[in-house]
Structure 1
């Protein structure tokens, strides 16, 4: 299970230059991806309309293309190289989201742009040191974020089974934490399957669990039929609204006896 928590930090001034460079790198990546788009005219299915849909002129997912993109970004890059890798991942994610929403009709035909200051730190850039999170800015240069005022438990280490990739802004750090069985006291979970007439569960510790809900279902079905016959007139008749309220209360009271 993955949960994300937000904490205030006081390292905004130290991190702001990095965040600005990171945002510029993301926008540079978005501009590069945008330059490789060509617009293809396609007919809208079932309509007489036509739409312009984006199509890549080159394979932007090939290893060769990504390597060239990374090398170009690393020129005169003043911070740790892994921030560039993170910016590439973020840029691709933003562009993929824009393309998906544009095809659905929820975005305009314009290049997406990153405006807010933020950076996603890869696990290779962070390390837990007691109550602090060490963030590598440059090789041998670190910023320490205080986590002592947190309201949630921390894993023992930074890993795929512990701490995820945090998103850092000038004011906050958004920290994803993985919780497995070990973080929950070793209690096994129960898998549930809800059907109309029963609630079935399975646990490795207790085996199969079955809860009969047939009586509850019969109450809801009977009440539904009664309410449906009155609902059509309820918007025009006060008497019908009173009857509908009576049926609803009766259903709730009867169902409560079987919970």
Structure 2
């Protein structure tokens, strides 16, 4: 298991079941009450500040006097309680169009910071109060436990029946290969990449991921049928949960096999990706802009927007971040993330701004060249990766572009087309 937040290294988690003692059950109940108190404080602070939630640090300061006078546990326990409270409210706000309300925490679950835990003789020691500890026997059936336990503990998630111990393994000091770059452009049905070595474009190619796209759409249709045909709520929810579970397992299996092959074939390269952190927010923003624009447009434009709606849905369901994470932790070299803005907007031949009359096509009106939009993006991503490495794509090195130029041109079904007008006719005739 990996986590999306950043740390000084990759994270791995082992999970096992246990029977809590009376002391741990009381601790979990008291911490749940503290989280609910923190949620009320954070909600009040947000309402007085234009619905902006405070940071966990600000929330902790507001709770300090209450904690000191009413809570009998070690001082460090207030930190994860405040983080949990803010995380709960942020999640509700994100899923309810910016609205906020007081959410009551019901589960007995608490994240415990690394300062309060350690492993001692195959037992997990938890500091409840200063010089007062609780011990939990570690079930080391996980085949990776002996390897992971050599590293520092990041945190422990403790519930009333499970323990999740997260270790920080490796480090961010992976080597940076600054003369051998592979840049990826992630799309819904393809992954395009460009390899640049010693300032020469070595290869550009496309990986077909339409099987992943098909799986996503097939299971989406299955859930639609389940929602329409099964009237019993309990059975419907169970079937929907099973469908999501199967889809997730199939997608993860395909991505595991794909990323393992990619890393094994490119073990001597630095991987470069676009930083797609806010892609879903941008999608929602574009959706709102299009909806406002469509109020004054005809039905033909509305139909066109329906296509873009499907495209946004496809992009938002494609597990691009999972693909990046798998590559990141499997690669022995450092992974770079570049700004995605404008990766397909500049012509590499003359530097003019490109137009996109058809989605797959990037056309330069100055030199008349028609490019494959996705492959051209992978070239830009690789070049930006070189700049981050401190080895920019030099003028002499850019001459290699001409030897690879044909691979970046738009060739539908491998048909070579000389200009955009011929390309447009071909697309129209074969639509």
Is the TM-score greater than 0.5? yes
Unaligned runs of 5+ in 1: 41-52, 202-206, 233-259
C-alpha spacing 1:229/1:63, structure 2 compared with 1 (3 Å): closer
Q: Which moved more, 1:141-150 or 1:187-196?
A: 187-196
Q: Which residue of 2 aligns with 1:54?
A: 51
Is 1:142 matched with 2:127?
A: no
Q: Could you tell me which of 83, 98, 107 is aligned with 2:92?
A: 98
Q: Which residue of 1 aligns with 2:82?
A: 88
Q: How much is the aligned-residue C-alpha RMSD, in angstroms?
A: 3.9
Q: Which residue of 2 aligns with 1:11?
A: 19
Query: In structure 1, how many angstroms separate the alpha carbons of the residues matched to 2:56 and 2:85?
Result: 15
Q: Which residue of 2 aligns with 1:78?
A: 72
Superposition deviation, residue 72 in structure 1 = 0.3
Q: Which moved more, 1:223-232 or 1:89-98?
A: 223-232
Query: In structure 2, how many angstroms separate the alpha carbons of the residues matched to 1:189 and 1:211?
Result: 19
Is 1:200 matched with 2:196?
A: yes
Q: State the aligned residue count.
A: 202
Is 1:129 matched with 2:120?
A: yes
Alignment of 1:224-239 (within 5 A): 232=431
C-alpha spacing 1:65/1:189, structure 2 compared with 1 (3 Å): closer
1:213 is paired with a residue whose SS is strand
Residues 83-119 of structure 1 show CA distances to partners (whole Å, capped at 9, x for unaligned) of 12321222233334434444xx1x6542122221111
2:155 is paired with a residue whose SS is coil
Rg larger in structure: 1
Q: Which residue of 1 aligns with 2:10?
A: 2
Superposition deviation, residue 211 in structure 1 = 4.0
C-alpha spacing 1:12/1:210, structure 2 compared with 1 (3 Å): farther
- Contact 1:29-1:88 at 8 Å conserved across structures: yes
Query: TM-score normalised to the size of structure 1?
Result: 0.60
Is 1:222 matched with 2:412?
A: yes
C-alpha spacing 1:178/1:197, structure 2 compared with 1 (3 Å): closer
1:12 is paired with a residue whose SS is coil
Q: Could you tell me which of 32, 37, 41 is aligned with 1:28?
A: 37
Is 1:168 matched with 2:164?
A: no
Write 1 or 2 for the structure with the bigger share of helix: 2
Unaligned runs of 5+ in 2: 1-8, 186-191, 206-403, 416-422
Write 1 or 2 for the structure with the bigger share of strand: 1
Query: In structure 1, how many angstroms separate the alpha carbons of the residues matched to 2:43 and 2:122?
Result: 42
C-alpha spacing 1:65/1:22, structure 2 compared with 1 (3 Å): closer
Query: In structure 1, how many angstroms separate the alpha carbons of the residues matched to 2:137 and 2:199?
Result: 46
Query: In structure 2, how many angstroms separate the alpha carbons of the residues matched to 1:142 and 1:73?
Result: 21
Superposition deviation, residue 79 in structure 1 = 2.5
C-alpha spacing 1:228/1:117, structure 2 compared with 1 (3 Å): farther
Query: TM-score normalised to the size of structure 2?
Result: 0.39
Query: In structure 1, how many angstroms separate the alpha carbons of the residues matched to 2:57 and 2:48?
Result: 24
